[in-house]
Amino acid sequence: MNQRNLQASPNARARFALHPTARTFGALLVAASAGLALAGCDDDPVDAQPCVGDACDPVEPCEADDSCDPVEPCEGEGCSADPVSVTLEFVGMVGDQLLVAGDTYTGIGTGEDSELIIHDARFYISGIELANADGVYVALELDDSAWHHDGVALVDLTDSDVGSGSVQVNTTVSGTLPPGIYSGVRFVLGVPFEHNHTDTAAAPSPLNVTAMAWNWRGGRKFVRLDGVNGHGMNVMLHLGSTDCAGEIDDITGCSRPNRGVVALPTYNPEQHVIALDVARVYVNSDIDFNTPETPALCMSGANDPECGPIFEALGIDFVSGVPGETQQSVFRLVERDE
């Protein structure tokens, strides 16, 4: 059994602490030409931008009369007009072991001796937000990338050429936020409706990945988790919208959207990696059994009993296909090894 230590990737860490800025050259020209001290007042106040950061002399607010607009100096971390670069890092886990394509994992699900081999582990996320210092969630503007498009990102955790597997791997999602300090993250597990039912062949990357496409009416597979058990039976989870109505290029809606919401309020980018735990996906499933004449193991159908406990783990109500009252337990935080 392969076991690997989870190592932090220095260049993949999100950098939330903002560096102080130096006094701008333009501000020096204003001060020199106007002959004004930043700490002083005048009958005709100059609307100058104060210098901020450790490299600047302290700026005293103007207090002479009502014509003065006091200027409070910006101090400490978070003082910058520059966007904050953020990188979320993901990892596949099976309990306390790293997920490695082709490895055998035992004791998965309700059977003590059940064995599982994973060949493909991919998922789409969208609507990514992080909480600022006031607890307000702010949308992450994704960087230009073959793995991102219009707020949608594809994460691929396995390197495999078996079955549907892909040798391409993407474990990071990067973007920018307004200046500030952030902790706590939430996102939607799935593709938004407006992008879900577009033509895969004509769609931009990563919405053009054939292995993540369902039939034209169902749209994309939000999660693809493919493997086999110890008896050689397929053990697959394909999560996506079902019971969709409409015609090609004009899908009007899906009665079971089957999108989940993942909220990790204690997330700290300096301390945590976000793990998809396969053992938690199947924690209440018998992976050695599948109801006859139904897909093995779950293809999101409303008449597939094996989907019930998997949807519960994903925090999705199995009947309605919308986020349920129970929070998801599949995604969790893993401490970085320093």
Say what the pLDDT of residue 321 is. 98
40 and 93 co-located in one domain? no
Structure confidence by residue, pLDDT tens digits, 78-110: 456 799 999 999 999 999 999 999 999 999 999
Structure confidence by residue, pLDDT tens digits, 264-295: 999 988 899 999 999 999 999 999 999 999 99
Q: Of 82, 112, 130, which residue is a domain's last?
A: 82
Q: Do the domain assignments include residue 5?
A: no
Q: What percent of the chain has pLDDT over 70?
A: 76
Q: Of 66, 82, 98, which residue is a domain's last?
A: 82
59 and 193 co-located in one domain? no
Q: Do the domain assignments include residue 9?
A: no
Q: Do the domain assignments include residue 298?
A: yes
- Domain extent at residue 89: 83-335
Structure confidence by residue, pLDDT tens digits, 8-38: 333 333 333 333 333 333 333 333 333 333 3
Question: What's the number of domains the chain is made of?
Answer: 2
Q: Do the domain assignments include residue 274?
A: yes
Confidence of residue 144 (pLDDT cuts 50, 70, 90): very high
Structure confidence by residue, pLDDT tens digits, 243-269: 999 987 889 999 999 999 999 999 988
Q: Do the domain assignments include residue 8?
A: no
129 and 240 co-located in one domain? yes
Q: Could you tell me which residues come within 8 angstroms of residue 336 by beta carbon, excluding any fewer than 6 positions away?
A: 6, 7, 8, 270, 271, 272, 273
Structure confidence by residue, pLDDT tens digits, 290-319: 999 999 999 999 999 999 999 999 999 999
77 and 211 co-located in one domain? no
Q: What percent of the chain has pLDDT over 90?
A: 68
Q: Of 30, 65, 82, which residue is a domain's last?
A: 82
212 and 323 co-located in one domain? yes
Please, what is the average pLDDT of the chain? 82
- Provide DSSP, 154-204: EEE-----STT--S--B-EEEEEE-SS--EEEEEEES--HHHHTS-GGGSP
204 and 93 co-located in one domain? yes
Q: Do the domain assignments include residue 276?
A: yes
Beta strands in 28-106 (DSSP E): 84-94, 97-98, 104-106
Encoded tokens for 299? 């293809």
Say what the pLDDT of residue 67 is. 47
Say what the pLDDT of residue 218 is. 83
Q: How far apart are CA 106 and CA 58, in angstroms?
A: 63
Q: Do the domain assignments include residue 231?
A: yes
User: Given a cut of 90, is residue 228 above it in pLDDT?
Assistant: yes
248 and 164 co-located in one domain? yes
More reliable by pLDDT, 50 or 189 = 189
26 and 103 co-located in one domain? no
